[in-house]
């Protein structure tokens, strides 16, 4: 088993998705991740269901949502609003490398647990703050959720059917992608800061904002605007810079056609028995096809309706033109390529038995990541962590339980 981050300890003080996703990614890479949760409810997403995963008797359950972002972690239920809880947290910080939190700006500083407080305890600490709008600026004190930021960051302005078409209107992405991307950027930033610490011995405060990440990930759409001064618009499944590159109806279902260059288009035109298209000046180059898409797309659509999706997929595969079906999640997990890649794994949960998980997409040639800890039950590891890392004695532990500082 390959654990490249086995020497790293992470305190995950985040909830919901962005922070937990960053921490889970580090856990998959072998880091020891300690999830700090509120006694009682724990992470908000533990109750975000249905669906839930339950044991045979129904006495224990966890939401599928929570299960998606908390693999590989130890759970410590700790009340940081109490001085004793703050003292314990600082003890853990003194022996940690990375801390991830997504409280509102200044939220942890109220408890003496902000970056300026904790760097006194551990000058080498990498302190990652995740908020909707960042640690500074006129919107910094606002709460930010993925859906809101997909809208404010421009993502929804280019997602959905074009005006004038059936079902027109802005749409959010079907998964909290802004949270996921922020989690990944946070992991990249934290590992970069660790690399810098090896040279400087200094920690740092990383300021991650969902809005910043969304704008950065608009990629070519953002550059299209900056170059032209014209805001991109919703185009359904069409691509603003490549044609043909969208969903087409066949005789039985939709397929995706993704023609990425002129050579592919020439082969595409041959398969659909429209070789003349690849020689027509209006369609011969991608730039020309983008300019004349309104004329070209109906011609392609008419031809593709003549055969089934499977027939087209096989025909295009033979000549190297990218084409594929639009799979639902069931079809994704039964797909032979997905099964070969080991996308689905099973893990043993402390109270729920065997549970399914989606494996990390990070793969190292000839090596396998270690998946040894299922998403934890709330407070599952409180005693172990506080005894081994915070040096809490059995007598002190009992007192903390009685006072509900820990659970």
pLDDT tens-place string over residues 361-371 = 999 999 999 99
User: Domains in the chain and their CATH numbers?
Assistant: 9-216+341-402 (3.40.50.10540), 245-331 (3.30.1540.10)
Whether 126 and 206 have beta carbons less than 8 Å apart is answered as: yes
pLDDT class of 273 with cuts at 50, 70, 90:
very high
pLDDT at 56: 86
pLDDT class of 116 with cuts at 50, 70, 90:
very high
Whether 77 and 406 have beta carbons less than 8 Å apart is answered as: yes
Cα angle 326, 332, 338 (rounded to 5 degrees) comes to: 125
CA distance 74 to 359: 18
Residue of 162, 324, 296, 156 lying closest to 236 (CA atoms) = 162
pLDDT tens-place string over residues 146-169 = 999 999 999 999 999 999 999 999
Please state whether the predicted TM-score (pTM) of the whole model is above 0.85.
yes
Q: Which neighbouring-strand residues pair with 281?
A: none
- Where in the sequence numbering do the catalytic residues fall? 179
Structure tokens at 306: 């003549």
CA distance 95 to 8: 10
Cα 397 to its chain centre, rounded Å, is 36
9-13: strand order across its sheet: 73-77, 32-37, 9-13, 98-101, 126-131, 204-209
Whether 29 and 3 have beta carbons less than 8 Å apart is answered as: yes
pLDDT tens-place string over residues 49-93 = 999 999 888 888 999 999 999 999 999 999 999 999 999 999 999
Q: What residues contact 35, with CB distance under 8 A and at least 6 apart? A: 12, 20, 23, 43, 70, 73, 74, 75, 76, 376
30-34: average pLDDT: 98
For residue 289, give the 3-state DSSP assignment: helix
Write out the DSSP string of 131-198.
ESS-SSSTTTTS---HHHHHHHTTTGGGSSBPTTSTTBS----SS-HHHHHHHHHHHHHHHHHHHHHH
CA distance 274 to 277: 6
pLDDT at 146: 97
CA distance 40 to 358: 27
- Taking residue 103's Cβ as centre, other Cβ atoms within 10 Å add up to 20
Residues in the chain: 407
Q: Which neighbouring-strand residues pair with 246?
A: 257
């Amino acid at each position: 088993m390959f654990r490249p981050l086995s020497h790293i300890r992470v305190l995950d003080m985040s909830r919901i998705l962005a922070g937990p996703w960053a921490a889970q990614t580090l856990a998959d890479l072998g880091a020891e991740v300690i999830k700090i949760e509120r006694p009682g409810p724990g992470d908000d997403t533990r109750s975000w269901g249905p669906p839930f995963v339950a044991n045979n008797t129904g006495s224990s359950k966890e939401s599928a949502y929570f299960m998606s972002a908390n693999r590989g972690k130890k759970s410590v239920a700790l009340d940081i609003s109490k001085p004793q809880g703050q003292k314990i947290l600082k003890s853990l910080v003194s022996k940690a490398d990375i801390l991830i939190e997504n409280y509102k700006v200044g939220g942890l500083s109220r408890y003496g647990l902000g970056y300026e407080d904790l760097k006194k305890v551990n000058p080498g600490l990498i302190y990652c703050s995740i908020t909707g709008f960042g640690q500074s600026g006129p919107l910094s004190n606002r709460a930010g959720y993925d859906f809101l930021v997909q809208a404010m960051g421009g993502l929804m302005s280019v997602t959905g059917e074009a005006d004038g078409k059936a079902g027109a209107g802005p749409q959010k992405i079907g998964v909290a992608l802004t949270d996921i991307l922020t989690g990944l950027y946070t992991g990249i930033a934290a590992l970069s800061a660790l690399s810098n610490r090896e040279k400087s011995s200094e920690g740092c405060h990383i300021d991650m904002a969902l809005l910043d990440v969304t704008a950065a990930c608009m990629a070519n759409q953002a550059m299209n605007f900056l170059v032209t001064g014209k805001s991109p618009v919703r185009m359904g499944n069409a691509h603003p810079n490549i044609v043909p590159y969208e969903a087409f109806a066949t005789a039985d279902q939709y397929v995706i056609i993704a023609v990425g260059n002129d050579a592919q288009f020439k082969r595409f035109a041959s398969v659909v028995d429209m070789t003349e298209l690849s020689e027509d000046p209006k369609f011969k180059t991608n730039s020309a096809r983008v300019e004349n898409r309104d004329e070209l797309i109906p011609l392609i659509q008419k031809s593709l309706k003549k055969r089934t999706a499977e027939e087209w997929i096989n025909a295009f595969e033979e000549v190297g033109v990218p084409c594929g079906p639009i799979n639902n999640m069931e079809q994704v997990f039964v797909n032979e390529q997905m099964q070969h890649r080991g996308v689905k794994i099973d893990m043993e949960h402390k109270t729920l038995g065997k549970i399914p998980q989606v494996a990390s997409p990070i793969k190292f040639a000839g090596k396998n990541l270690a998946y040894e800890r299922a998403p934890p039950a709330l407070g599952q590891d409180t005693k172990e962590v506080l005894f081994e890392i915070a040096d809490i004695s059995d007598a002190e532990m009992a007192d903390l339980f009685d006072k509900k500082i820990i659970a």
